[in-house]
Chains A and B, each alone.
Chain A
Amino acid sequence: MKSLLSEAWLVASKDLRIEARSRVLTNQVAPFAVLVLVLFGFALDADQRTLRMFAPGLFWVAVLLCLLLAVQRSSAVESADDAATGLRMAGLAPAAVFLGKSAAIFVQLLVLELLLTAGIIVFYGSSVKNLFLWLIAGLVTALAVATTGMLYGALASGLGVRETLLPILLLPVLAPVLIGATRAYDDALGAAAVDGWAWTGLLAMFAVVASTLGALAYGALVED
């Protein structure tokens, strides 16, 4: 277990260092996320009251779009000069590689969630009514989508049509997460009267299942 975690940490820290150096998150994904929020505002052409009501859903749609970029980037880093083969040759446990790469995506999503929260406060006039629910729901949803994204990224990569197929494979699977996370944030942002904690519990279960399934299946997916 210690070896698995230390190997996962090695992979995660490597991926995060690469993102820090390349600045893809700060220079490309983050502006894209903000742009999506602004465009939603233009498209709905609504007053702030309507935008506040739709803010939770728009927030998580923006997160999922950014997830697609993060997963594709994570795969591209390994395939650029066939480092993926190096990972296989190094003898790292596939589960550790999965957990490490998922952890790196998870951290990037948390940064984006912070930015998008600031975005909906500034552009839509939203406010966080339940800080603890906002935090926990944000964490478990980021974990759920990061692990599911990583799993489907490996699957699409194995099929050799990553860029075009990933959204088609991934987004339908994440539809329940989108619904749950939107309901949880409806409560956290005071947009609707729902039980956000019940939805957060479901999201946590999804995150545990996706993490476990991903750790078990990743080895088979990356093998020839």
Chain B
Amino acid sequence: MVRVGGRRRYRYGVPVIQLCDVVALLGRFPALAGASLSVEAGETVLLQGPNGAGKTTLLRLCAGLVRPESGQAQVLGHDLSVDGRPVRRQVAMLGHATGLYEDLSVAENVSFWAQAAGLDKSLAAQRATGALGRMGLDERLLSLPVSRLSAGQRRRASLAALAVRRPQLWLLDEPHAGLDQTGRNVVDELISDAVAAGATVLVASHELERVRSLNPRVVTVAGGLIVKDTGGPK
């Protein structure tokens, strides 16, 4: 582990996610039924599998949002069975929802999430402008309330709100959903840049060809188990 800009960064090859026989429940249903997975820093992992296989629960578990019922689960050195909260600030999770406030402008939303992650106001505004530009959002859109954006534009704004945090671990659930071709390319660039900067990326997607172009390790999830793993970075 090294320190970059005052923050801990994991060296390539160091385990970032270590799951061993993890069971996680959604209500009484075991969404993960003994999943084991080890992911090292700098890896890009594609999670594939049918609907209801447990991909989203696996991502939420790694984000510290779902507590393991049994088994061992460590993410970024933190034991998730004890407390998932210390993990969260170092992780960016893109789910099916965008997590944006409809009545605030795009710039205000991104700036708020940057400040919520601990950045001071001026740095938050600076990073927000950079991230929104990088996501290809037109400058005229930044002062508009989120309620007036299209679904694709909201998705991009949501990704910008995550990017400002410069997380060590990206957990992306169908990141290409609702995006046009340009937006999809932007997402691919974001993933490539994150990995180049030493971050680890897990992507759950049904758009296999699209994600495979990023040359990921492919993990197949079915019935709450890891049933196939190409095993390590290609």
Pick the contact of B93: A7, A77, A85, A87 (CB < 8 A): A85
B117 & A91 in contact (Cβ 8 Å cutoff): yes
B77-124 contacts to A, CB under 8 A, are: 85, 88-89, 91-93, 95-104, 108, 112-113, 115-118
Give chain B residues whose Cβ lies under 8 Å from the Cβ of A77.
101
Interface mask (A78-89 → B, CB under 8 Å = 1, otherwise 0): 001111011111
Minimum distance in angstroms from B106 CB to a CB of chain A: 13
Q: How many residues of B contact A (CB 8 A)?
A: 29
A1-21 contacts to B, CB under 8 A, are: 7, 10, 14, 17-18, 21
Asked whether A224 is an interface residue with its Cβ less than 8 Å from the other chain, the reply is yes
Give chain A residues whose Cβ lies under 8 Å from the Cβ of B127.
none
Pick the contact of B101: A10, A18, A90, A91 (CB < 8 A): A18
Closest residue of chain A to B112 (Cβ to Cβ) is A14
B95 & A81 in contact (Cβ 8 Å cutoff): no
Minimum distance in angstroms from A206 CB to a CB of chain B: 30
B103 & A21 in contact (Cβ 8 Å cutoff): yes
Give chain B residues whose Cβ lies under 8 Å from the Cβ of A17.
104, 108
A81 & B102 in contact (Cβ 8 Å cutoff): yes
Give chain A residues whose Cβ lies under 8 Å from the Cβ of B93.
85, 89
Give chain A residues whose Cβ lies under 8 Å from the Cβ of B88.
88-91
Interface mask (A1-45 → B, CB under 8 Å = 1, otherwise 0): 000000100100010011001100000000000000000000000
Contacts A89-B63, A89-B93: A83 and B99 contacting too (C-beta < 8 A)?
Answer: yes
Asked whether B190 is an interface residue with its Cβ less than 8 Å from the other chain, the reply is no
A81 & B118 in contact (Cβ 8 Å cutoff): no
Alpha-carbon distance between A21 and B146 when the two chains are bound, in angstroms:
12
A85 & B97 in contact (Cβ 8 Å cutoff): yes
Give chain B residues whose Cβ lies under 8 Å from the Cβ of A21.
103-104, 145
Please report whether the interface of chain B is mostly helix, strand, loop or mixed according to DSSP.
loop
Contacts A21-B145, A85-B95: A90 and B113 contacting too (C-beta < 8 A)?
Answer: yes
Alpha-carbon distance between A41 and B104 when the two chains are bound, in angstroms:
39
Asked whether A92 is an interface residue with its Cβ less than 8 Å from the other chain, the reply is yes
Contacts A21-B104, A81-B97: A86 and B113 contacting too (C-beta < 8 A)?
Answer: yes
Give chain B residues whose Cβ lies under 8 Å from the Cβ of A14.
101, 104, 112
Give chain B residues whose Cβ lies under 8 Å from the Cβ of A89.
63, 65, 88-89, 91-93
B35-86 contacts to A, CB under 8 A, are: 63, 65-67, 85
Alpha-carbon distance between A10 and B145 when the two chains are bound, in angstroms:
19
Give chain A residues whose Cβ lies under 8 Å from the Cβ of B95.
82, 85
A81 & B116 in contact (Cβ 8 Å cutoff): no
Give chain A residues whose Cβ lies under 8 Å from the Cβ of B92.
89
Give chain A residues whose Cβ lies under 8 Å from the Cβ of B115.
10
Interface mask (A119-155 → B, CB under 8 Å = 1, otherwise 0): 0000000000000000000000000000000000000
Pick the contact of A86: B85, B99, B104 (CB < 8 A): B99
A91 & B85 in contact (Cβ 8 Å cutoff): yes
A224 & B65 in contact (Cβ 8 Å cutoff): yes
Contacts A85-B65, A90-B117: A22 and B85 contacting too (C-beta < 8 A)?
Answer: no
Question: Across chains A and B, which 7 residue pairs bring their CB atoms closest together, nearest first?
Answer: A91-B89, A82-B97, A86-B99, A90-B116, A21-B103, A22-B103, A18-B103
Given contacts A14-B104, A85-B97, A89-B91, 10 further A-B contacts (CB under 8 A): A17-B104, A18-B104, A22-B103, A81-B97, A81-B99, A85-B65, A88-B88, A89-B65, A90-B116, A224-B66
A-B contacts, 8 listed (Cβ < 8 Å): A10-B116, A21-B104, A81-B98, A81-B100, A87-B116, A89-B65, A89-B89, A92-B116
A residues bordering B, Cβ < 8 Å?
7, 10, 14, 17-18, 21-22, 77, 80-83, 85-92, 224
